[in-house]
A and B are shown apart, each in its own frame.
Chain A
Amino acid sequence: GENVEQHPSTLSVQEGDSAVIKCTYSDSASNYFPWYKQELGKRPQLIIDIRSNVGEKKDQRIAVTLNKTAKHFSLHITETQPEDSAVYFCAASQNAGTASKLTFGTGTRLQVTL
């Protein structure tokens, strides 16, 4: 089955700096790569996703890049703010017209310091 590795496990940045979280996946058939943000005690929330036919996607201060050849994808957060502090999870899945079974990474705890 799919295996997703995520690095780093913790990341501390100063407010205004950029943060990058990286994930690798093992199954070349995976074609969907979402990122979830989970604040302390809350549910995971989808913040951005990318499909295998796209190399990069941006949404305001966040962006995701995908390298299918190397089987890795990354989350980029620019101009970080204190409210960006949370745990971020990457995931990968195949969706062949049925339920999209997500395999998650182990999470990155991002702390944005003032």
Chain B
Amino acid sequence: DAGITQSPRYKITETGRQVTLMCHQTWSHSYMFWYRQDLGHGLRLIYYSAAADITDKGEVPDGYVVSRSKTENFPLTLESATRSQTSVYFCASSPSGDRSYEQYFGPGTRLTVT
């Protein structure tokens, strides 16, 4: 479990501010994902990445930006935070090959937008 970390764990920000959530994994997994978790919605995919410099949209990408310059890092940026983006954000990673099905989650970041 220590192989994938997120920072900060808790964040309070104001509407309109830019905020970046960090995700770091030490497993050299090819794939990385960002989900948000909201009551009544389960986990919803925001963005994912198959490798460095390769990213693609998930189910709910609006208002978010991602980058992946290094395999181990996958930051998620809220360019202008809105109250509807108050949520718990989970980063996940999975290896390539036969085990690419298996996703392993980070500890989460609880973001509150006031």
- The chain A residues found within 8 Å of chain B, CB to CB, are 1, 6, 32, 34, 36, 42-46, 49, 51, 89, 91, 93, 95, 97-107
Contacts and interface: CB of A to CB of B under 8 A. Distances in A.
A32 B94 contact: no
A103 to B, nearest CB: 8
Contact of A43 (B59, B94, B107): B107
Given A43-B108, A101-B45, A105-B42, A49 B100 contact: no
B6 to A, nearest CB: 9
A46 B103 contact: yes
B106 A43 contact: yes
Contact of B43 (A44, A95, A97): A44
Interface string B64-108: 000000000000000000000000001000100000111111111
14 contacts: A6-B42, A32-B101, A34-B101, A34-B103, A43-B105, A46-B102, A49-B102, A93-B101, A98-B100, A99-B49, A100-B31, A100-B103, A103-B45, A105-B42
Contact of A89 (B31, B43, B49, B101): B43
Contacts of B48: 99, 101
Interface residues of B, number: 26
A1 B50 CA distance: 20
A42 to B, nearest CB: 8
B10 to A, nearest CB: 11
Contact of A106 (B40, B101, B104, B105): B40
Contacts of B33: 99, 101-102
Nearest to A31: B101
A99 B100 contact: yes
Given A44-B90, A89-B43, A107-B42, A100 B105 contact: no
B73 to A, nearest CB: 17
Contacts of A6: 42
Contacts of A106: 40-42
